[in-house]
Amino acid sequence: MPNPVVHFEVAGKDPAALTAFYGKAFGWEMQDVMEGQYYMANPGEGAIQGGIGGTPPDYPGHVMFYVEVEDPGAALEEIKALGGSTVMDPMDVPGGPTIAHFADPEGHVVGLVKRA
Protein backbone atom coordinates (compact mmCIF):
# COMPACT_ATOMS: atom_id res chain seq x y z
CA MET A 1 0.00 0.00 0.00
CA PRO A 2 1.47 3.40 -0.87
CA ASN A 3 1.92 5.85 2.00
CA PRO A 4 0.68 3.70 4.92
CA VAL A 5 -0.08 4.96 8.41
CA VAL A 6 2.99 3.79 10.35
CA HIS A 7 3.00 5.57 13.71
CA PHE A 8 0.68 7.25 16.20
CA GLU A 9 1.51 9.79 18.87
CA VAL A 10 -0.17 11.13 22.00
CA ALA A 11 1.54 14.18 23.47
CA GLY A 12 0.75 16.44 26.39
CA LYS A 13 2.07 18.29 29.41
CA ASP A 14 2.60 15.20 31.64
CA PRO A 15 4.14 12.34 29.62
CA ALA A 16 4.52 10.11 32.70
CA ALA A 17 0.80 10.36 33.49
CA LEU A 18 -0.19 9.78 29.86
CA THR A 19 2.13 6.78 29.64
CA ALA A 20 0.69 5.28 32.82
CA PHE A 21 -2.87 5.89 31.61
CA TYR A 22 -2.48 4.31 28.16
CA GLY A 23 -0.28 1.50 29.44
CA LYS A 24 -2.81 0.49 32.09
CA ALA A 25 -5.93 1.17 30.02
CA PHE A 26 -4.81 -1.01 27.11
CA GLY A 27 -2.01 -3.19 28.48
CA TRP A 28 0.60 -1.61 26.21
CA GLU A 29 4.28 -2.12 26.93
CA MET A 30 6.11 1.21 27.26
CA GLN A 31 9.80 1.91 26.69
CA ASP A 32 11.37 5.18 27.85
CA VAL A 33 13.47 6.45 24.94
CA MET A 34 14.05 10.09 25.95
CA GLU A 35 14.66 10.30 29.71
CA GLY A 36 11.00 10.52 30.72
CA GLN A 37 9.95 12.82 27.89
CA TYR A 38 9.01 10.27 25.24
CA TYR A 39 8.01 6.62 25.45
CA MET A 40 7.56 4.13 22.64
CA ALA A 41 4.24 2.33 22.99
CA ASN A 42 4.03 -1.28 21.86
CA PRO A 43 0.36 -2.23 21.42
CA GLY A 44 1.27 -5.75 20.30
CA GLU A 45 2.40 -7.78 17.33
CA GLY A 46 0.96 -6.62 14.04
CA ALA A 47 -0.31 -3.31 15.47
CA ILE A 48 0.85 0.17 14.51
CA GLN A 49 3.55 1.27 16.92
CA GLY A 50 3.32 4.62 18.62
CA GLY A 51 4.77 7.11 21.02
CA ILE A 52 3.62 9.02 24.06
CA GLY A 53 5.47 12.12 25.11
CA GLY A 54 5.65 15.63 26.38
CA THR A 55 5.22 18.88 24.52
CA PRO A 56 7.15 22.14 24.71
CA PRO A 57 5.42 24.81 26.83
CA ASP A 58 4.15 26.72 23.78
CA TYR A 59 2.92 23.65 21.84
CA PRO A 60 -0.52 22.18 22.53
CA GLY A 61 -1.11 18.54 23.37
CA HIS A 62 -2.30 16.39 20.50
CA VAL A 63 -3.20 12.98 19.18
CA MET A 64 -1.69 12.40 15.75
CA PHE A 65 -1.08 9.71 13.21
CA TYR A 66 1.89 9.65 10.84
CA VAL A 67 1.80 8.74 7.16
CA GLU A 68 4.99 7.36 5.62
CA VAL A 69 6.17 9.27 2.52
CA GLU A 70 9.29 9.23 0.34
CA ASP A 71 9.87 13.00 0.55
CA PRO A 72 8.18 15.05 3.29
CA GLY A 73 9.01 18.36 1.58
CA ALA A 74 7.44 17.28 -1.71
CA ALA A 75 4.43 15.86 0.16
CA LEU A 76 3.93 19.23 1.91
CA GLU A 77 3.95 20.99 -1.47
CA GLU A 78 1.27 18.61 -2.80
CA ILE A 79 -0.75 19.06 0.40
CA LYS A 80 -0.56 22.86 0.02
CA ALA A 81 -1.79 22.57 -3.59
CA LEU A 82 -4.76 20.54 -2.31
CA GLY A 83 -5.79 23.15 0.26
CA GLY A 84 -3.76 22.04 3.28
CA SER A 85 -1.01 23.96 5.05
CA THR A 86 2.38 23.30 6.62
CA VAL A 87 2.42 23.28 10.42
CA MET A 88 6.04 22.11 10.86
CA ASP A 89 8.66 21.92 8.12
CA PRO A 90 10.64 18.68 7.73
CA MET A 91 12.88 18.02 10.73
CA ASP A 92 15.44 15.27 11.25
CA VAL A 93 14.86 13.50 14.57
CA PRO A 94 18.27 12.73 16.14
CA GLY A 95 19.02 9.07 15.42
CA GLY A 96 15.64 8.61 13.78
CA PRO A 97 13.42 9.58 10.89
CA THR A 98 12.54 12.87 9.21
CA ILE A 99 9.13 14.18 10.27
CA ALA A 100 6.84 17.07 9.28
CA HIS A 101 3.32 18.18 10.25
CA PHE A 102 0.53 19.57 8.11
CA ALA A 103 -3.05 20.72 8.60
CA ASP A 104 -5.78 19.45 6.32
CA PRO A 105 -8.36 21.90 4.89
CA GLU A 106 -10.39 21.68 8.15
CA GLY A 107 -7.37 22.21 10.40
CA HIS A 108 -6.70 18.62 11.57
CA VAL A 109 -2.97 18.17 12.12
CA VAL A 110 -1.37 15.03 10.67
CA GLY A 111 2.26 13.90 10.62
CA LEU A 112 4.46 12.79 7.76
CA VAL A 113 7.46 10.53 8.26
CA LYS A 114 10.35 9.35 6.12
CA ARG A 115 12.05 6.52 7.92
CA ALA A 116 15.81 6.71 8.32
Kindly give the confidence (pLDDT) of every residue in the chain, 116 residues in length, as a single tens digit, with 9 standing for 90 and above: 689 999 999 999 999 999 999 999 999 999 999 999 999 999 988 899 999 999 888 888 899 999 999 999 999 999 999 999 999 999 999 888 999 999 999 999 999 999 87
User: Domains in the chain, please, with CATH?
Assistant: 1-64 (3.10.180.10), 69-116 (3.10.180.10)
pTM assigned to the model:
0.84
Strand order in the sheet with 85-92: 29-32, 38-42, 50-54, 5-12, 62-68, 109-114, 98-103, 85-92
